[in-house]
């Protein structure tokens, strides 16, 4: 009976993945973004009264929870959660394996992506390998092979995406892979840590990715403008840092004492579940593993506090720990970005007029002008047209009609993407902004497909002076 409950819950998630209505996905999946652009100074966040107000509320919540946790009422709350989740707890490994398997089947079914909808691929081998990973997770003998496959997928992603872009996926991927290895182990001292590694992996992934809302708030502007109800009436520039702080602090809570991490997990589950309706199936696919691990944390009956247990049990440990986490993650995020891309890599510091060509070479990063300052919309549109025209006209001269089609159409699509990005920067009309977003969603995959076709057909970019752009990495 208990096993049936666990299997039914996992299959419910499978059905939800399969039959939820298609809609736009969450940020980074529907809005253009440039990872290599310099992040906004953290000083903007530190000067924001909303940030400090939210931080004070979270600290109050954590300290109050810790105070209650040490008393009888806290133990009663834990016991109540244990009673509710006991059927799942007894078959938790079955639940995790089924969800991991269903997730990779869903990724395979969506097609053209790996690990998450944010990472695009044209490789059929990668798509089929994810179906193989799904099959391998159902036997303890083959789980380590599935773990190796997950790590390999992350390494393959480095060919198309930068290390900085993939750090949050690394934490989640390593956590899931480590779970599969430890769960398959016959060593009880190793196996007992299997739930801890996925909890830590998700916590790190959430804290890292949450910093995007502080570093690149403009990525989220289309979201709150298109769906203003998501802000609960808060001003846009108040809601975005508050949302980032909520994600970071709840991720931090997953690393603390049992009651704090279970309540944090419940809050996160509500947040992620609420996002499914407005954003649809792709959002659920992208967050399926995170949501499953959150359920695991809620159902975890263990009272193990883990590292730094003496500090975690003290009330003063909460502000000290959260402050340390903020310093470490903020320093790592901005420091890693500067180490990889340099300190002065913000497109907003360069006028559009200095951008002479795009780079269609797959080895070069995207060079966009959607956030450039100091120019008018007319100047930006003119440059986009000038940049598109010459390579498009040159491309259609190719003697092979198929090659001529691709070489002419590719810069045309890149020009359309540029103009859509300019519209989102300067335009105000809701209908035209929606059209621009539709163009971005439609033409990024087509640019990707055409560039993959050129590579497959051994096209050398020096045959014609045409340098397509890496827009498809959005």
> Residue 106: which residues within 8 A CB-CB, separation 6 or more?
14, 17, 18, 285, 288
Cα–Cα distance, 179 to 199 (Å, whole number): 10
Query: What is residue 324's predicted lDDT score, i.e. its pLDDT?
Result: 95
pTM: 0.68
Q: Are 415 and 388 in contact (CB under 8 A)?
A: yes
**What domains lie within the chain, and their CATH numbers?**
2-341 (no CATH), 348-473 (1.20.1260)
Query: What is residue 273's predicted lDDT score, i.e. its pLDDT?
Result: 83
Q: Between vectors from CA 302 to CA 298 and to CA 307, what angle results, nearest 5°?
A: 100
Q: pLDDT truncated to tens, each residue of the chain (474 aa)?
A: 444 434 334 433 333 333 332 222 333 544 455 666 678 888 888 888 888 988 999 999 999 999 999 899 999 999 999 999 999 999 999 999 999 998 899 888 878 777 777 777 778 888 899 999 999 999 999 999 999 999 998 888 887 777 777 787 888 889 999 999 999 999 999 999 999 999 999 999 999 989 988 888 877 776 777 777 777 777 877 888 888 899 999 999 999 999 999 999 999 998 888 777 666 666 666 778 888 899 999 999 998 888 888 888 899 999 999 999 999 999 999 998 888 877 655 433 333 322 322 333 333 333 444 344 456 777 778 777 877 877 888 888 888 888 889 888 988 888 888 888 888 878 888 788 888 888 888 888 888 888 888 888 877 654 443 444 444 444
Which tokens sit at 102?
């269903």
Query: What is residue 361's predicted lDDT score, i.e. its pLDDT?
Result: 33
Query: What is residue 73's predicted lDDT score, i.e. its pLDDT?
Result: 93
Which tokens sit at 93?
């490994």
Nearest to 118 by CA among 31, 241, 15: 31
Cα–Cα distance, 382 to 389 (Å, whole number): 11
Nearest to 193 by CA among 306, 295, 101: 306
Q: Is 372 left (phi over 0), alpha (psi -120 to 50) or beta?
A: beta
Q: How many CB atoms lie within 10 A of CB 112?
A: 17
Cα distances (angstroms) measured from residue 443 to each of 11, 256, 290, 415:
34, 44, 29, 10
Query: What is residue 18's predicted lDDT score, i.e. its pLDDT?
Result: 33
104 phi, psi to nearest 5 deg: -70, -30
Query: What is residue 456's predicted lDDT score, i.e. its pLDDT?
Result: 83
3-state secondary structure 152-204: HHHHHHCCCCCCHHHHHHHHHHHHHHHHHHHHHCCCHHHHCCHHHHHHHHHHH
Which tokens sit at 208?
């890292």
Query: What is residue 194's predicted lDDT score, i.e. its pLDDT?
Result: 92
Q: How many CB atoms lie within 10 A of CB 340?
A: 14
Which tokens sit at 3?
């096993």
């Amino acid at each position: 009976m208990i096993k049936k409950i666990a299997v039914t819950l996992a299959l419910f998630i499978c059905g939800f993945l399969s039959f939820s209505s298609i809609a736009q996905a969450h940020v980074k999946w529907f809005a253009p973004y440039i990872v290599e652009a310099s992040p906004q100074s953290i000083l903007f966040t530190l000067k924001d009264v909303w940030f400090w107000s939210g931080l004070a509320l979270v600290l109050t919540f954590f300290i109050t929870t810790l105070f209650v946790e040490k008393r009888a009422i806290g133990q009663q709350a834990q016991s109540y959660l244990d009673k509710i989740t006991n059927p799942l707890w007894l078959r938790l490994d079955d639940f995790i394996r089924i969800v991991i398997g269903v997730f990779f089947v869903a990724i395979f079914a969506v097609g053209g992506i790996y690990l998450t909808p944010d990472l695009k691929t044209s490789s059929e081998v990668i798509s089929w390998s994810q179906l193989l990973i799904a099959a391998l997770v159902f036997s303890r003998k083959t789980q380590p092979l599935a773990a190796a496959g997950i790590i390999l997928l992350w390494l393959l992603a480095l060919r198309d995406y930068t290390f900085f872009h993939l750090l949050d996926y690394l934490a989640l991927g390593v956590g899931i892979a480590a779970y599969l290895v430890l769960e398959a182990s016959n060593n009880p001292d190793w196996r007992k840590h299997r739930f801890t590694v996925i909890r830590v992996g998700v916590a790190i992934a959430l804290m890292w990715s949450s910093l995007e809302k502080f570093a690149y708030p403009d990525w989220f502007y289309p979201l709150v403008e298109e769906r203003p109800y998501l802000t609960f009436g808060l001003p846009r520039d108040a809601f975005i840092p508050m949302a980032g702080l909520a994600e970071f602090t709840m991720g931090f809570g997953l690393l603390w004492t049992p009651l704090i991490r279970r309540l944090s997990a419940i809050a996160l589950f509500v947040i992620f579940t609420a996002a499914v309706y407005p954003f649809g199936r792709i959002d659920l696919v992208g967050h399926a593993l995170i949501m499953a691990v959150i359920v695991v944390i809620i159902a975890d009956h263990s009272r193990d506090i883990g590292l730094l247990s003496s500090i975690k049990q003290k009330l003063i440990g909460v502000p000290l720990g959260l402050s340390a986490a903020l310093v470490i993650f903020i320093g790592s995020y901005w420091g890693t970005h500067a180490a990889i891309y340099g300190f002065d890599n913000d497109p907003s510091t360069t006028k559009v007029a200095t951008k002479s060509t795009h780079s269609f070479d797959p080895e070069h990063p995207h060079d966009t002008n959607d956030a450039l300052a100091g120019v008018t919309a007319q100047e930006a549109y003119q440059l986009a047209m000038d940049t598109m025209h010459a390579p498009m006209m040159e491309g259609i001269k190719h003697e092979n009609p198929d090659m001529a089609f691709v070489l002419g159409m590719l810069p045309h699509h890149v020009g359309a993407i540029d103009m859509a990005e300019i519209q989102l920067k300067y335009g105000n009309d809701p209908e035209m902004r929606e059209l621009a977003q539709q163009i971005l969603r439609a033409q990024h995959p087509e640019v990707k497909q055409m560039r993959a076709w050129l590579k497959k057909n051994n096209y050398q970019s020096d045959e014609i002076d045409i340098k397509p752009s890496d827009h498809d990495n959005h």
